[in-house]
Amino acid sequence: MKLLSVIVPCYNEEENIRDFYDELCKNTVFFEKKGIAFEILYVDDGSKDKTVAEVKKLCAADARVRLVSFSRNFGKEAAIYAGLQKCRGDLAVLMDADLQDPPSLLPEMYSYIEQGYDSVATRRVTRKGEPVIRSFFARMFYRLMNRISRTEIVDGARDYRLMTRQVVDAILSMSEYNRFTKGIFGWVGYETKWLEYENVERAKGETKWSFWKLFLYSLEGIIAFSTVPLTIASVMGVLFCILAFAMIIFTIIRKLIFDDPTSGWPSLVCIIMLVSGVQLFCLGILGQYLSKTYMEVKKRPIYLVKEETGGEISDKDEREKA
């Protein structure tokens, strides 16, 4: 019998845990008919509300539900990594707890796996219900990203993705600390089917992503999947050298031919300001890459588990089988 793992990262989602479970269960019948069992793995990312208690209630009632709870908030990327590491399924699907990833798509997604695709990803074609400025910057980000990175990063792609064990293992083999999952999915490749759907607004609670957080996240993505900014720094350096050289020649010739006094304190100040600005900018770019390298070489764990419960029965089943 095949097993499908549903991985649900949650951070302060107490209101959504139950609703998500109910909604998902409405769609499990299709899979049970096909002889595919479910496991629902909630990854609690250090929630400060009653998320853990809510999941434990479900664990007690349903042996298919499991909980992995972090020692603190490590971020959604870490929760995804933990979920993929802990899941036991032959297939795995990542879903948000806020019902923005409609479980009703699952049967269709599975049909593509049956057709031989390795993973089925989703993207939202609208950004309904999102602030206009945010959508604008998001679109700019994707356009920039696809210019400067060789890894394909799809606009509007969600983390809602069904994949085979092979793809899960491929993603797990990328054990980097700075995890930009959208890039990682693109990087591992495999045959991916894209499904499109209209944006669904979050059921309850609030989004965890402020504009500033998203901005930092986008920088992370650029640095993790492109080294073009470093090239820009070098190119700018060369351009400014050429410019300076031309200006020196120009000044000397002007002095020799027209005997012009080389005046211009203000222009000098402007030039110094401009050039030092560019220098600092380039240094900043270097610093960004260096800081990421620093975090990588430390080899800190991506997450720390405080508690793991649930799924006991499936454990026993496995032992019986063995």
The identity of residue 95, as a single letter, is M
Does 83 bind ligand UDP (CB under 6 A)? Our answer is: no
Ordered DSSP codes for 160-213: EEEEEHHHHHHHHT---SS--HHHHHHHH---EEEEEE-----SSS--S--HHH
Does 56 bind ligand UDP (CB under 6 A)? Our answer is: no
Does 165 bind ligand UDP (CB under 6 A)? Our answer is: no
Question: Whole-number minimum distance, CB 16 to ligand UDP, in Å?
Answer: 8
User: Nearest to residue 78, comparing CAs of 181, 212, 207?
Assistant: 181
Which listed residue (97, 99, 105, 168) binds ligand UDP by CB under 6 A? 97
**246 three-state secondary structure:** helix
Query: Sheet harboring 36-44: ordered strands across?
Result: 192-197, 119-124, 157-164, 91-94, 2-10, 36-44, 65-70, 305-310
Only one of the segments 204-212, 216-224, 226-234, 251-259 lies at the binding site for ligand UDP (rule: CB under 6 A); that segment is 204-212
Does 202 bind Mg ion (CB under 5 A)? Our answer is: yes
Does 156 bind ligand UDP (CB under 6 A)? Our answer is: no
Report how far residue 292's alpha carbon sits from residue 290's, in angstroms, rounded to the nearest whole number: 5
**61 three-state secondary structure:** helix
Does 123 bind Mg ion (CB under 5 A)? Our answer is: no
96 or 118: whose CB is closer to ligand UDP? 96
Question: Whole-number minimum distance, CB 64 to ligand UDP, in Å?
Answer: 19
54 or 98: whose CB is closer to Mg ion? 98
Which listed residue (14, 39, 54, 98) binds ligand UDP by CB under 6 A? 98
Is 114:2 a contact under the CB 8 Å cutoff?
Answer: no
- Helical ranges in the chain per DSSP H: 14-25, 28-33, 51-61, 76-86, 106-114, 132-148, 165-172, 181-188, 211-225, 228-258, 265-298, 312-321
Question: Whole-number minimum distance, CB 277 to ligand UDP, in Å?
Answer: 34
Angle between helices 76-86 and 165-172 in degrees, nearest 10: 130
Which listed residue (136, 209, 250, 294) binds ligand UDP by CB under 6 A? 209
Picked from Mg ion, ligand UDP, none, the partner binding residue 231 (CB below 5 to 8 A depending on kind) is none
Which listed residue (64, 76, 124, 182) binds ligand UDP by CB under 6 A? 76
Is 211:135 a contact under the CB 8 Å cutoff?
Answer: no
Report how far residue 51's alpha carbon sits from residue 43's, in angstroms, rounded to the nearest whole number: 10
110 or 160: whose CB is closer to ligand UDP? 160
208 or 292: whose CB is closer to ligand UDP? 208
Which listed residue (27, 73, 85, 100) binds Mg ion by CB under 5 A? 100
123 or 202: whose CB is closer to ligand UDP? 202
Contact residues for Mg ion, defined by CB under 5 A: 96, 98, 100, 202
Contact residues for ligand UDP, defined by CB under 6 A: 9-11, 13, 45, 73, 75-76, 79, 96-98, 100, 202, 207-209
